[in-house]
């Protein structure tokens, strides 16, 4: 097989599966891992694919900061399905923490109005949504306002957390990657999310399938630190296998 034929095969495999590992390409093509890595570098230079840890993907693996107003218009149905499934894990009289982001806003909107719970959140839009729920007591964290996410971050928010202990943290993320972990585009938000995890007995991540295999600037934690993930049915088989191999309870809705 010529180099051109090998490159054509690699590009077709990446387009077909969305993601393919270096080891599989090496086995399929009968060449060394070193050769495949050189191939991927050349193909990436031509903007035909993107290299990630030990593999190649057809989509950009790095996520930049976007306004929540923009995010709310993307994958609306998937986020609603995830949110409706996630509210099943709220018990009467629970004290929960809700993170920020468009999926978290969908989750807040899905909480039954008759549910009697206490909610701790940094997201101002979550507070506004739950303000009309007569049985929900909302504690709004204070701090530096992130206009792009309609939430707060910083030392004041983190210091408030120290006075609480909660049942469950419901969290979203910009990136979910087996090698990089859970991440978000803002460093201060990443640190606040980590502090939230320390104050909850269980962490449940709500994220649509487009977040898997992606990395963002601020790393929150390793995936092994997550108890459960809820996502939509478009998640790839490979992503499912990677998550389940880490012992995480993955629910696909």
Asked whether residue 15 falls in the same domain as residue 140, the answer is no
Asked whether residue 34 falls in the same domain as residue 150, the answer is no
pTM of this prediction?
0.77
Parts of the chain with a pLDDT under 50: none
Asked whether residue 151 falls in the same domain as residue 248, the answer is yes
Q: Which residue has the tokens 């994220």?
A: 207
The strand pairing partners of 251, in sequence order, are 230
Of 31, 59, 87, the domain-final residue = 59
pLDDT at res. 18: 77
pLDDT at res. 238: 83
Structure tokens belonging to residue 208: 């649509």
Asked whether residue 180 falls in the same domain as residue 119, the answer is yes
Length of the chain equals 253
Asked whether residue 134 falls in the same domain as residue 74, the answer is yes
- CATH code for position 175: 3.40.50.1360
Asked whether residue 25 falls in the same domain as residue 135, the answer is no
Tell me how many domains the chain contains. Answer: 2
Asked whether residue 49 falls in the same domain as residue 140, the answer is no
Share of the chain above pLDDT 70, in %: 94
Instruction: Return the HEC string of 117-180.
Output: EEEEECEHHHHHHHCCCCCEEEEECCCEEECCCCEEECHHHHHHHCCCCEEEEEECCCEEECCC
Asked whether residue 160 falls in the same domain as residue 208, the answer is yes
Asked whether residue 205 falls in the same domain as residue 107, the answer is yes
Structure tokens belonging to residue 138: 């909302």
> Can you give the residue range of the structural domain that contains 8?
3-59
> Cα separation of 252 and 126, whole Å?
24
């Amino acid at each position: 097989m010529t180099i051109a034929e090998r490159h054509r095969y690699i590009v077709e495999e990446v387009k077909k599966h969305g993601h393919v590992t270096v080891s599989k390409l090496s086995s399929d093509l009968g060449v060394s891992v070193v050769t495949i890595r050189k191939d991927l570098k050349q193909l990436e230079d031509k903007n035909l694919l993107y290299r990630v840890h030990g593999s190649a993907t057809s989509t950009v693996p790095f996520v930049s900061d976007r306004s929540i107003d923009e995010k709310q218009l993307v994958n609306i149905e998937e986020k609603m399905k995830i949110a409706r499934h996630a509210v099943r894990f709220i018990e009467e009289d629970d004290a929960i923490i809700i993170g920020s982001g468009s999926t978290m806003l969908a989750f807040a909107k899905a909480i039954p109005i008759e549910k009697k719970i206490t909610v701790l959140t940094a997201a101002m839009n979550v507070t506004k949504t739950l303000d009309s729920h007569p049985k929900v007591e909302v504690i709004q964290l204070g701090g530096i306002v992130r206009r792009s996410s309609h939430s707060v971050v910083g030392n004041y928010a983190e210091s408030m957390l120290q006075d609480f202990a909660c049942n469950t943290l419901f969290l979203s993320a910009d990136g979910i990657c087996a090698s990089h972990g859970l991440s978000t585009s803002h460093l201060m938000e990443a640190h606040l999310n980590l502090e939230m995890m320390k104050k909850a007995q269980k962490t449940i991540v709500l994220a649509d399938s487009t977040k898997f295999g992606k990395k963002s600037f601020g790393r929150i934690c390793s995936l092994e630190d997550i108890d459960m993930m809820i996502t939509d049915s478009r998640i790839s088989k490979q992503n499912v296998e990677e998550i389940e191999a880490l012992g995480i309870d993955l629910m696909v809705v």
